[in-house]
Amino acid sequence: MKPQLNETHDAALRSWVSSANTGNTDFPLQNLPYGVFRRRGSEQPFRLGVAIGEQILDLVAARVAGIFSALENQAFDRAILSDSLNGLMNLPPAVWSSLRLTLSRALRDGATQQAALASCLLAQLDAEYTLPAQIGDYTDFYTSLHHATAVGKLFRPDNPLLPNYKWVPIGYHGRASSIAVSGQEFRRPLGQTMPPGASAPVFGPAKRMDYEMEIGIFIGNGNALGEAIAINDAEQHVFGLCLLNDWSARDMQAWEYQPLGPFLAKNFASTISPWVVTLDALAPYRKAWSRDTADPQPLPYLESNDLRDSGAFDIELEVLLQTEKMRSEGMPPQRLSLSNFSHSYWTVAQLVTHHTVNGCNLRAGDLLGSGTQSGPLPEEAGSLLELTEGGKKPINLANGEQRVFIADGDRIIMRGWAQKAGSARIGFGEVSGTLLPARAL
């Protein structure tokens, strides 16, 4: 789990791809996240790529150019030639690190491969994306103490934080089939809600639509059924992280969530960013993880010295809103909140370990959601439910509009990045999604 810094993290490295050297790009040479793309509007098959500045390096074309000759074997070739990252995710972590080093050296200033690779680039503006991986299973966790407490006060004023929360990472099995890549447009869901004071539920469009700012965790190598992943081995099974918006219908959720938890209020849409940032790229942004001494400390299977030393990630998480009116008038989106993943009560490693402690088998491409990431301050809330205190406190937008929950035509944009002096900025790009009107009854 302890982060290993090497030559790929050197902040002084520069690329022959000039847009990677601006200092404010999400995708400098020190990042090199993976995605699946093709030329926009084409019928070309989707293929693996790596973001570098404003460009994408086509890994299939790079293989033809011969830069992976030292890595090539049957499994590696199948992975690179695939239309999803699953094959690459399923290779050993040592191969991930070797591929990262190979790419870093080939894209550096003065690299002998520049002439061969220059024709392997496509501008990101000219690309379209699909899901980075075939997601077999999706589990959403609930790792922000601040979010859990704030929401608990709204749903259960007398008992906001359930007694198991500080002992066990809470999660539920989500719906993989409705996860889509950034740019997703989806209809306001229909379902049952219980109006205040009513004696029977009604059926119709959800009225309290919300977003949830989350981190997505892509599993790499899985574990065999019946086996568990130990806490100090957990991150060897994580390929990388992405941004995740787990859309929620709060009025449907309030009616259906007891006793078995989220169902229709959550399974109609979830949106992830197209780029998967590796844990290797995030090594400079590891932080110590701690638990308040007044709280229960993790049980032994969720505890380790390495976890305490560097189990957290310092990743800024921003949420913005752009209404339909703002778009029509050419206005930029407006920031709603800014939080940080390091506030999370449970870590990436703890989620993986707990998920498998009963013998559950994870597989390459499985996705874990962190749960809404909210910080201790009101402006760090990762959902409208918290920001508006359950709909009692409208948000005033710069153009005079107000929002309590998401309106039809609203677009939610989320961004994530890690940045500090002495290290290169590591960004996630963005994930956006737009709410459309409900289908006719």
Q: What is the CATH number of the domain that holds 116?
A: 2.30.30.230
Q: Calculate mean pLDDT across residues 223-229.
A: 98
Q: Is the pLDDT of residue 163 over 70?
A: yes
Q: Looking at the structure, do residues 188 and 308 belong to the same domain, yes or no? A: yes
Q: Check: pTM over 0.95? Answer yes or no.
A: yes
Q: Looking at the structure, do residues 162 and 178 belong to the same domain, yes or no? A: yes
In-domain check, residue 441: no
Q: What is the CATH number of the domain that holds 304?
A: 3.90.850.10
Q: Is the pLDDT of residue 159 over 90?
A: no
- Report the chain's mean pLDDT, rounded to a whole number: 96
Distance set, CA 354 to CA 141, 196, 231 (Å): 11, 38, 9
**The total number of structural domains that make up the chain:** 2
Q: Looking at the structure, do residues 46 and 189 belong to the same domain, yes or no? A: no
In-domain check, residue 223: yes
Q: Is the pLDDT of residue 3 over 80?
A: no
Q: Which of 130, 146, 165 is at the close of a domain?
A: 130
DSSP notation for 112-143 = TTHHHHGGGEEEGGGEEEE-SS----EEEE--
Q: Looking at the structure, do residues 111 and 186 belong to the same domain, yes or no? A: no
Q: Which residue has the tokens 């099974």?
A: 237
CA-based torsion, 205, 407, 151, 288: positive or negative: positive
Give residue 77's pLDDT: 96
Closest CA to 272 of 430, 113, 441: 430
Q: Looking at the structure, do residues 81 and 177 belong to the same domain, yes or no? A: no
Q: Looking at the structure, do residues 174 and 124 belong to the same domain, yes or no? A: no
Q: In this structure, are residues 238 and 217 in contact, taking their beta carbons and an 8 Å threshold?
A: yes
The pLDDT > 70 percentage for the chain reads 100
For residue 322, give its domain range.
138-436
Question: In a 3-state reduction of DSSP, which class is residue 159?
Answer: coil
Query: Which residues are tagged catalytic?
Result: 147
Taking only the tens place, the pLDDT of each residue in 34-56 is 999 999 999 999 999 999 999 99
- What type of residue is 432? S
Taking only the tens place, the pLDDT of each residue in 48-91 is 999 999 999 999 999 999 999 999 899 999 999 999 999 999 99
In-domain check, residue 395: yes
Q: Which of 89, 105, 130 is at the close of a domain?
A: 130
Q: Looking at the structure, do residues 62 and 161 belong to the same domain, yes or no? A: no
Q: Looking at the structure, do residues 400 and 257 belong to the same domain, yes or no? A: yes
Taking only the tens place, the pLDDT of each residue in 378-427 is 999 999 999 999 999 999 999 999 999 999 999 999 999 999 999 999 99
- The token pair at 367 is 């996705």
Torsion of CA 63, 65, 66, 71, to 10 degrees: -20
Q: Looking at the structure, do residues 165 and 203 belong to the same domain, yes or no? A: yes
Buried b / exposed e over 406-424, threshold 16 CB at 10 Å, is bbebbbbbbbbbbbeeebb
- The token pair at 32 is 């090199």
Question: In a 3-state reduction of DSSP, which class is residue 192?
Answer: strand
In-domain check, residue 2: no
Q: Calculate mean pLDDT across residues 182-188.
A: 98
Taking only the tens place, the pLDDT of each residue in 236-292 is 999 999 999 999 999 999 999 888 889 999 999 999 999 999 999 999 999 999 999
Q: Looking at the structure, do residues 114 and 199 belong to the same domain, yes or no? A: no
Q: Looking at the structure, do residues 46 and 106 belong to the same domain, yes or no? A: yes
In the 3-class helix/strand/coil scheme, how is 236-271 assigned residue by residue?
HHEEEEEEEECCEEHHHHHHHCCCCCCCCCCCCCEE
Taking only the tens place, the pLDDT of each residue in 420-437 is 999 999 999 999 999 999
- The token pair at 416 is 């994530």
Q: Which of 110, 130, 150 is at the close of a domain?
A: 130
Q: In this structure, are residues 354 and 169 in contact, taking their beta carbons and an 8 Å threshold?
A: yes
Give residue 118's pLDDT: 97
Give residue 1's pLDDT: 62
Q: Looking at the structure, do residues 16 and 51 belong to the same domain, yes or no? A: yes
